[in-house]
Amino acid sequence: MSIAYGVLKCKAIGRKAGTGAHPHFQIHGIAGGVQYRIAVNVKSQLHPSELLYYTDEWFEHEVTAGLPELPFGFTRLPNRPGGMALDYIRGNLFDRRNLVPLAFDVPGRDNDLNEKLEMYIKRAMDCEDAVLYAYGDPWGPEPKLPDTVFGFVPGSGVHDIHMNQGNSGSYAKDNGVYRDGGLLIHFPADRRWIAIFLAFQSQSWHTDDRTGSPLDWDGQTEHGPSPNAITAPEEAVTIVGAVVLPARRAGFATVTLLNASEQTVLLDGWSLANKLKQKYRLSGGIAPGQFRTLELEGQPDFLKQRGDIITLLDPRGLKVHGVSYTRRQVRPGWTIRF
């Protein structure tokens, strides 16, 4: 593992668009009097060069719950579920189908990655109480070297602000789980979070649960056979609702699935998983175009009232669909809609 993973909590005080052969959008941050540079990739060195980009302007996820309590500066984070670490695949942070490829420099207004990042970072700079959280790999401090972009001394910062798993070839050394990069901007007065997620088109979205290495169709990774590897399933079955807190004391939490396909889907061997990797085994099936509500009998605390994720796994443990919810969304007897 080559990434000393963590999150930088800071105030954004400057920015510069990415240019040249290896462009990065540069953010100047300050935390407790210490200056940092956040280097955000805006172009891939592998084909295709456009990064995958997604922004959630009203981000709600339990991963943010502890962030406001962190001290300003860089905090190392353990690479495990249930904490503040990001994992694009296992954390159900967003629906990857919403990612779009975006070039870093295109003629016109508000149509390239530089301009998207410029808009959000300027918004963070203009708001007095906005706080920026940059997830990635730190460098420095470099006592004798001024920063190459903003000129402060000592030079230090954070990079790898993107998905850090599913890499092949020379970039495979960066693979890991619960160590993905990203940008979160908190506006406390509005109780609002903006999330920015970036990935390379060359990265795999089915990775080994231990190493983060891409899964091959034959079940092999660079570290040997994986029991999880199968042909990537179509997302015919999705999670559309959940009752976390039953209205009746003796009732059960429920999860509702939808089969959007034209064929019956058998759920024997499938399972639901929460953020702590606990699993609830499924059976039976769902007819074409139908909903099925599952009562989670025997595991009363499977869905946590303080916020959790719900992941649907096929018989070999491959993710089919995933959602998340926060404490604020939990109401007695009410269904959370996804």
Q: What is the band of 171 on the pLDDT scale with cuts at 50, 70, 90?
A: very high
pLDDT at 96 over 80: yes
pLDDT greater than 50 at residue 60? yes
Q: Tell me the mean pLDDT in the region 284-301.
A: 94
Which pTM was predicted? 0.90
Segment 175-191 mean pLDDT: 97
Condensed to tens digits (0 to 9), the pLDDT of residues 202-227 reads 999 999 999 999 986 444 444 444 44
Per-residue pLDDT of 105-134, as tens digits, reads 999 988 999 999 999 999 999 999 999 999
| Mean pLDDT over each residue of the chain, to the nearest integer | 93
pLDDT, greater one: 179 or 234: 179
- pLDDT tens string 237-267: 999 999 999 988 778 999 999 999 999 999 9
Which 3-state string (H, E, C) describes the chain? CCCCCEEEEEEEEEEECCCCCCCEEEEEEEECCEEEEEEEECCCCCCCCCEEEEEECCCCCHHHCCHHHCCCEEEECCCCCCCCCCCCCCCCCCCHHHCEEECCCCCCCCCCHHHHHHHHHHHHHHCCCCEEEEEEEEEEEECCCCCCCCCCCCEEEEECCCCCCCCCHHHHHHCCCCCCCEEEEEEHHHCEEEEEEEEECCCCCCECCCCCCECCCCCEECCEECCCCCCCCCCCEEEEEEECCCCCCCCCCEEEEEECCCCCEECCCCEEECCCCCEEECCCEECCCCEEEEECCCCCCCCCCCEEEEEEECCCCCEEEEEEEEHHHCCCCCCEEC
